[in-house]
A and B are shown apart, each in its own frame.
Chain A
Amino acid sequence: MDGQIQIGMRLWLGVVGVAASLLLLAPAEAASGRLLATGGATSIEGAAGGGLVPWAVISGYTEDDQFGGTVTLSRAQVDDYRLDVTAAAFSYGNRFEFSVAQQMFTLENLGAELRQQVIGAKYKVAGDLIYGNIPQISVGGMYKRNTRYDLPQAVGSERDSDWEAYVAVSRAWLAGPFDRTWLANATIRSTRANQTGLLGYGGDLNDSHELQLEAALGMFLHRSLAVGVEYRQKPDNLSFAREQDWMSAFVAWFPSKHVALVGAYVDLGEIAGARNQTGYYLSLQASF
């Protein structure tokens, strides 16, 4: 079992490493066709977005026929748990994004950990974040799987892997209230994941996909610094412990088109019987 995890980990690190070196080989100016911050940050599941929510934006700064990508390290630390995420995304133009994420969720009181891998794709179907009359509309899909399933299974999860699909709409207003640039995003996701999939997929209370609403609103104090909030509705499939919606209040800093740093206060509610899980979130993204 442990050997399997080791091999899985090594394979994963290999994939991320190869992706990162490919991205480094890409010419530096290949991925600079978009304006600062228009690729957003990297959400915990690897898709471009905020922290908790995938947005309609395409990762990085690729526009027209450019390709590029991002590599991200994130951590959420709440009272009894810690989530560590390693993610990478590849993008083509302002059109398509492919992402991978490896999540490790540490149950600090139990000395145990949960692991989830997420592979995602996102396609912009219409509109634009800034230009024209139609907001940017993207569709996305995620394949998620638990690479350690003993605990999810013990608490009543029905399966160790599953698909999700979402539609996201994003729009920026260059000179909104207070003459600041504002960004709004709404995402509808079809999911049956327990705690985003960290505790498996489906349960005794519900085993079908449900539509959940996720949203974000941000304001740019200036073009490299934004503050905002996110909300993520979640299913409640397991009778062993209730699951609650998540929210965050974030600060995102884009010192250049190569780096983004996000800090947030997160409220993850009740997780596996432990109530009021609040804490901080930090994410560092490099773009190529």
Chain B
Amino acid sequence: MTSLLKLTSTMLVVSAMAMTLVAVSPSARANSLYHDLGEREGIEILMEDLLLYVAEDKRINHHFVDIDILRLHEKLSEQICELAGGPCVYTGDDMVTSHTGMDLTNTDFNALVEALQKAMDDRNISVGAQNRLLALLAPMHGDIVGR
């Protein structure tokens, strides 16, 4: 009996958690993400910080030695700005094209995520905004890793 009660109470908690999943819709919040990231200027600083963390990270900095870092910074800033719902247009190559031949690993991808997380921490970007940006970037994993 108490077992049944316990199961019921756990199921109630779980279903309450599941209902909030349905209730909160992620749509129409992209523009507020652009705002939360500090708009165009904030995103440019964020991408600069990101690249500085990348340069320090022995796991991935070798991938960045022979590239035009200023162009990369510009394209990254455009891309994040557009993704976040800002008034920008990404003018770079698609993710598959730009990463083909690099043979990137999961470790590489995660190292970049960690560099971004540290950069966002430094800019005092809220946990919620950080998560929303990461959720927009995570689907690119398949286009970037193992190409």
Contact = CB atoms under 8 A, between A and B. Distances in A.
Contact of A178 (B20, B59, B113, B117): B20
Contacts of B24: 176-178
Interface string A214-236: 01010101110000010100000
Interface string B112-144: 011001000000000111011011001001100
15 contacts: A32-B59, A33-B107, A33-B110, A34-B110, A63-B110, A64-B105, A66-B107, A178-B128, A179-B131, A180-B127, A222-B127, A229-B14, A269-B2, A270-B2, A276-B2
B23 interface: yes
B6 A244 contact: yes
B106 interface: yes
Given A222-B127, A229-B10, A247-B10, A33 B2 contact: no
Contacts of A143: none
Contacts of B138: 130-131, 174
B7 interface: yes
Given A33-B110, A177-B24, A244 B3 contact: yes
A180 B128 CA distance: 6
A205 interface: no
A63 B131 contact: no
Contacts of A179: 127-129, 131-132
A217 B106 contact: no
A175 interface: yes
Contacts of B21: 176-177, 182
B10 A175 contact: no
Contact of A177 (B2, B20, B127): B20
Contact of A131 (B10, B131, B142): B142
Chain A: number of interface residues, binned into ranges = 35 or more
Instruction: Label chain A's interface by main secondary structure.
Output: loop
Nearest to B128: A179
Contact of A244 (B2, B113, B131): B2
B38 to A, nearest CB: 17
A245 B7 contact: yes
Contact of A63 (B107, B117, B127): B107
A244 B7 CA distance: 10
B31 to A, nearest CB: 15
A217 B117 contact: no
Contact of B135 (A34, A66, A174, A219): A174
Contacts of B101: none
Nearest to A276: B2
Contact of B13 (A35, A94, A222, A229): A229
A175 B134 contact: yes
Given A63-B105, A178-B24, A267 B6 contact: yes
A181 interface: yes
A131 B106 CA distance: 10
B58 interface: yes
